[in-house]
A and B are shown apart, each in its own frame.
Chain A
Amino acid sequence: MEKDNLEALDKNFQDKVDREIKIEPKDYMPDAYRKTLIRQISQHAHSEIVGQLPEANWVTRAPNLRRKAVLLAKIQDEAGHGLYLYSAVETLGADREDTIDDLHSGKAKYSSIFNYPTLTWADMGMVGWLVDGAAIMNQVPLCRCSYGPYARAMVRVCKEESFHQRQGFEIVTQLARGTQVQKEMAQESLNRWWWPSLMMFGPNDAESTHTAQSMAWKIKRNTNDELRQMFVDATVPQAELIGLKIPDKDLKFNEETGHYDFGEIDWDEFWQVVKGYGPCNDERVAARKKAKEDGMWVREAANVYAEKRARRNKKVS
């Protein structure tokens, strides 16, 4: 009886998904769907928060007042994205602090791209142009995700990300039109960021464990390889426009398919960084842990004060 019931609920759920009706927090959803969303949204939130660090690394060294203000505003947006994504996770019954503890223990992942160091000012351009550009490719389809709160959060996130992508491209364009030193700075930075940006779309479809189920649930709308191809097709002409060279000897426009063919990603490097051995994995997690530990007394004080105030208000009334 119970089993039949569950089957009926599951069928009804999938039927709603198939008819593009959004799933809302109080609706029935299979456990596995809930777990997948908690994993994906919290990792997305962690990516926004950890993603503050490589850019914050240049805030105090931004080259002029305008760039400093824009960079700060952008990082603040990322923190804001983290905030609404954590809220979206909480609609699924997860606790924000628990998910953060999973980040600190290494149980939860975040986008591997943030484990690469930002070494020059040009990297601020590349992070906006390539990293946020790749993020947009991943995130625009998420605005139609079957889970309502996630889809709605992504609408706002995507609007802001598109500003970020443009400001990044503007930084790179300025360098590409600048002095020889600036052009070299831009090219050197592109050489370092290109391949890790392509890795942001995840393993090839054949290797991707979650894709099929996520697509059936309409959490995901396109495969990793489709999105990667869209990114390459959009980005290569932009690089050409400003005279930078994509560091891929196999890159070539394919007249037959209408797409760019490109070289093989170094999957050893991909897995190495995913498994925690990238250039900055330890530093990023250590910085987040330190922020939490150093802030412990502040959060305790705020809680104790709130309790005291509640007690005093009660006495008065």
Chain B
Amino acid sequence: MTKQEALFEFLLRKADDSLILGHRLSEWCGHGPILEEDIALTNISLDLIGQATELYKYAAEVEDKGRTEDDLAFLRIEREYKNVLLVEQLNGDFGKTIVRQFFFDHFEHLLYEGLMNSKDERISAIATKTIKEVKYHLRHSSEWIIRLGDGTEESHDRVQASVKDLSRFINELFYQDEVEEILIKEGIIPDVKEFRVAFENNIEKILEEATLKLPEEKWQLTGGRKGVHSEHLGYLLAELQYMQRTYPGMEW
């Protein structure tokens, strides 16, 4: 694998994470539990779609095969999407959406801090812009974890169940293969293994304040980075791609 191929693959992985999670959050639009949260969730969705756009643009340039950011976002088949499984999980109740966001935000925060120092100027510029958004997302999801965890008995039980359900996708956030190994050597991306402990400390501190616990059993699922997804992704893509598939080659 060349450095260029590795860079393309990495950008695709991260762009897909942002697009798919942004899409999921956009499903909340008009249905939030309170007007302020309707606005907050669509705002985060908007940030994520903006990040995805920047990453796809750069990926398209790196690939240099004449594809655009929209071709990459809308015209691949299911096995070609490389997002982690966590982001494609169904919204569930508001608490589940928040738990999904909470795990993701804490990972993104550490990753993008590292990416700000990337030797690749474009990635470092994207990271510098993105980190500001991620800090806000992180504060939003962490505060809600505490509120829901330490709120009523019902909210505690609901959000605890979601923590249990979604924690099996945490490990995959730290997935690395040849792609990352090449880019770490080149100084383009940080080695996420180095901040695994920080990640766990950060989330456990907040979970403790929220009177919540990560489950004892450590069964973990992976596959997303290789394009092997859950059953949920196909339906998401059917909606996402509807216009591009139904009316091929048209400008909108």
Instruction: Check B151 against A52 for contact (C-beta < 8 Å).
Output: no
- Chain B residues with Cβ under 8 A from A69's Cβ? 46, 49-50, 53
- Residue-by-residue, is A60-97 near B (CB-CB < 8 Å gives 1, otherwise 0)? 11111111110011011001101100100000000000
A112–B147 alpha-carbon span in the complex (Å) = 38
Interchain CA distance A16-B74 in the complex, whole Å: 59
Q: Are A287 and B31 touching (Cβ within 8 A)? A: yes
Q: Are A304 and B152 in contact (CB under 8 A)?
A: yes
User: Could you say which of A29-37, A103-111, A136-144, A178-186 contacts chain B?
Assistant: A178-186
Answer whether residue B36 sits at the interface, using C-beta atoms and an 8 A cutoff.
yes
Is B184 interfacial (CB-CB < 8 Å)?
Answer: no
- A167 nearest CB across to chain B (Å): 12
Q: Which A residues between 100 and 152 are near B, CB-CB below 8 angstroms? A: 121
Interface positions of A from 282 to 305, Cβ below 8 Å from B: 287, 290-291, 294-302, 304-305
Report chain A residues within 8 Å CB of B242: 61
Most B-side CB within 10 Å, residue of A73, A290, A296: A73
Closest to A303 in B: B151
Q: How many of chain A's residues touch chain B, expressed as a range? A: 35 or more
For residue A56, which residues in chain B have a CB less than 8 angstroms away from its CB?
29-31
Number of A-B contacts (CB under 8 A): 139
Closest residue to A80 on the B side, CB-wise? B39
Query: Given that A295-B94, A298-B155 are known contacts, is A73 also in contact with B33, CB under 8 Å in the complex?
Result: no
B114 an interface residue at 8 Å Cβ cutoff?
A: no
A-side contacts of B227, CB under 8 Å: none
Chain B's interface size range is 35 or more
Q: Name the contact of A75 in the complex, choosing from B42, B50, B244 (C-beta under 8 A).
A: B42
- Distance in Å: Cβ of B235 to nearest Cβ of chain A: 10
Question: Which residues of chain A in 160-176 are interfacial with respect to chain B, using CB atoms and an 8 Å cutoff?
Answer: 171, 174-175
Q: Are B50 and A298 in contact (CB under 8 A)?
A: no
The interface centre, meaning the residue of A182, A297, A301 with most chain B CB atoms within 10 A of its CB, is A301
Looking at A69, A80, A83, A182, the one whose CB has the most chain B CB atoms below 10 A away is: A69
Residues in chain B near residue A76, CB distance under 8 A: 39, 42-43, 46
Task: Specify which chain A residues have a CB less than 8 angstroms from the CB of B35 in the assembled complex.
Answer: 49, 79, 82-83, 86
Chain A residue contacts of B38, Cβ below 8 A = 52, 79, 291
* Contact bitstring B196-238, A, C-beta under 8 A = 1, else 0: 0000000000000000000000000000000000000000000
Q: How far is the CB of B149 from chain A (nearest CB, A)?
A: 9
A294 to B73 alpha-carbon distance, docked (Å): 32
Interface presence of A59 (CB below 8 A): yes
A181-B148 Cα distance, complex, nearest whole Å: 49
Contact residue among B33, B43, B240, B247 (Cβ-Cβ distance under 8 Å from A299): B33
Q: Is the CB of A73 within 8 A of B46?
A: yes
- Interface membership of B146, Cβ < 8 A: yes
Q: Closest 10 CB pairs between A and B?
A: A295-B33, A301-B151, A301-B155, A63-B243, A63-B252, A52-B30, A56-B30, A298-B33, A56-B29, A305-B151
A-B contact pairs, 9 of them (CB 8 A): A59-B26, A59-B29, A72-B42, A72-B45, A79-B30, A79-B38, A291-B38, A297-B93, A302-B151
